[in-house]
Structure 1
Amino acid sequence: MLAEPGFAADVERWRMYLSQLFDLWPEAQPPEDLIDRIDASLGGVAPARRGRPFPWPLLAIVSTALAACLLLVVALRPGGPPPGGAPMGPPPITASAPILVAALGDAKAPVAAAFDPTDGSIRVTAAPDAPATRVAQLWVIGGDGVPYPLGLLARDATLLVVPAADRARIAAGATLAISIEPEGGSPTGKPTGPVVATGALAAV
């Protein structure tokens, strides 16, 4: 998906098509022995008794959020697809640090973020709604548990360039958070308003 923008767009389009099926039927729990019966029908060894059935609709929602993060990387990183969906070949393979992605907030409507260590840029798809006199501000929280400001978010997609001195804080496992602050951002350097979305960074 990272190497083929057209294929990545196809995957996301089919995810959206299939996700609509969840609205057509009420949720139902499958029989507890369903997976064992499937394994047996395929000639496999029956596994030990499992716990509660996995919530497959939740898995689909989370995977869609991850796909949105990956599409953000493909569409916005240097060498991504040109405007208007014009065809292009696979980008050249170069040695670079892995991209870090996160899905912030509600799994049904996540805010996707992607950090590129090669140039220190962080891209966010959109900001949560904020009152007219407030703004959304992005933070990173590392192992020390202290939030550090990264910048203010526009209502649409935002591109921020993180100062070189702060880039080491943005690593796999760190948490991105969005808070609602007064115009101009937090006056204290720490979140003062409600934190409305969080998500952990992972390397891709």
Structure 2
Amino acid sequence: MIPHDPEERRALIGEYLLGLLDEPEAAEVRQLLEEDEKAARMALDWERHFLELSDRLPAQAPSPALWMRIRRSLGLQDEPRPGALANWWNSLPAWRLTAATLAIALLVAVLLPILRSPDSVGERYTVVLQQPGEAAQPGWVIQVGSDGTLLLDPLVADQVPEGRALQFWTLVDPAEGPRSLGLVEAGKPLRLPAEQIGAVQAGQLFELTLEPAGGSPYDRPSGPVLYIGRAVLASAN
């Protein structure tokens, strides 16, 4: 049962995002986030808080078994290049789920020079968007090229309910709030020009939310966060 006390409700949503609830409880919270804007805002605050905490975790080299699990989740079958990769998977068990997002992002950042040859050399960023409160299964990958162009690629085929839409957001400064980057068609890539994206920096937050058809009626997300992640520097001059 969803508690009425605001602090108890906030704590329950935090437990849901960490994947600590059983399926019946998780289903109740998911329904709450779909129907209650205040609850959805609580979830968004928790996600940003967890990501800020994971950013402070010390780097650790992944085990060979973990490396292969990450590669399988990304659909990469070739042998990885040798060498250590910084990630936060086993640093603090309490933040394991949120740390997984950054670990996958770092892996993609290392593999991108192998998989794609850039047209020019400059700062490039990678973001892996992952479902909050779930195991380390990425849903979308963002690549920001050296010219500032952003490419959003789906890794899953989402089913969006009728009358709803996916909306793309970014957050640089919490004081300014999130900025909409437009609507996204489920299962299809999206390319946005540098003029629309603006300057991207390491740690910048990106997310996809489920909104009414036509997008959020506010200048901020109104529906639940479906995918979230932070930008990782892939290469620079």
Q: Identify the TM-score tier after normalising by the shorter chain.
A: 0.5 to 0.7
Q: What is the aligned partner in structure 1 of residue 195 from structure 2?
A: 164
Alpha-carbon deviation of 1:136? 1.0
Alpha-carbon deviation of 1:118? 0.7
Q: Is the CA contact 2:108–2:126 (under 8 Å) kept in the aligned structure 1?
A: no
Match 1:12 to one of 76, 86, 94: 76
Q: Give the whole-Å Cα distance in 2 for the aligned partners of 1:96 and 1:147.
A: 26
Q: What is the aligned partner in structure 1 of residue 143 from structure 2?
A: 114
Q: Is the CA contact 1:180–1:193 (under 8 Å) kept in the aligned structure 2?
A: yes
Alpha-carbon deviation of 1:74? 6.6
Q: Cα distance 1:92–1:124, how it changes in 2: closer, same or farther (>3 A)? A: closer
Q: Is the CA contact 2:126–2:232 (under 8 Å) kept in the aligned structure 1?
A: yes
What does residue range 1-204 of structure 1 map to in structure 2 within 5 Å? 12-13=76-77, 63=103, 66-67=106-107, 80=116, 91=117, 94-105=120-131, 106-111=134-139, 112-125=141-154, 126=156, 128-145=158-175, 146-162=177-193, 164=195, 166-168=197-199, 170-204=200-234
Alpha-carbon deviation of 1:131? 1.1
Q: What is the aligned partner in structure 1 of residue 22 from structure 2?
A: none
CA RMSD of aligned residues (A): 3.9
What SS does the aligned partner of 2:221 have? coil
What SS does the aligned partner of 1:184 have? coil
Q: Give the whole-Å Cα distance in 2 for the aligned partners of 1:70 and 1:53.
A: 21
Alpha-carbon deviation of 1:109? 1.9
Amino acid across the alignment from 1:140? T
Amino acid across the alignment from 1:200? R
More helix as a share of residues? 2
> Size of the alignment, in residue pairs?
144
Structure 1 stretches lacking a partner, 5+ long? 1-7, 16-51, 81-90
Q: Which has the larger radius of gyration?
A: 1
Alpha-carbon deviation of 1:157? 3.3
Q: Give the whole-Å Cα distance in 1 for the aligned partners of 2:107 and 2:220.
A: 31
Q: Is the CA contact 1:172–1:202 (under 8 Å) kept in the aligned structure 2?
A: yes
How many percent of aligned residue pairs carry the same amino acid? 24
Q: TM-score, normalised by structure 2?
A: 0.47
Alpha-carbon deviation of 1:93? 7.4
What SS does the aligned partner of 1:150 have? strand
Alpha-carbon deviation of 1:114? 1.9
What SS does the aligned partner of 1:132 have? coil
What SS does the aligned partner of 2:161 have? coil
What SS does the aligned partner of 1:113 have? strand
Amino acid across the alignment from 1:98? R
Higher relative contact order (CA 8 A, sep 6+): 2
Q: Is the CA contact 1:113–1:123 (under 8 Å) kept in the aligned structure 2?
A: yes
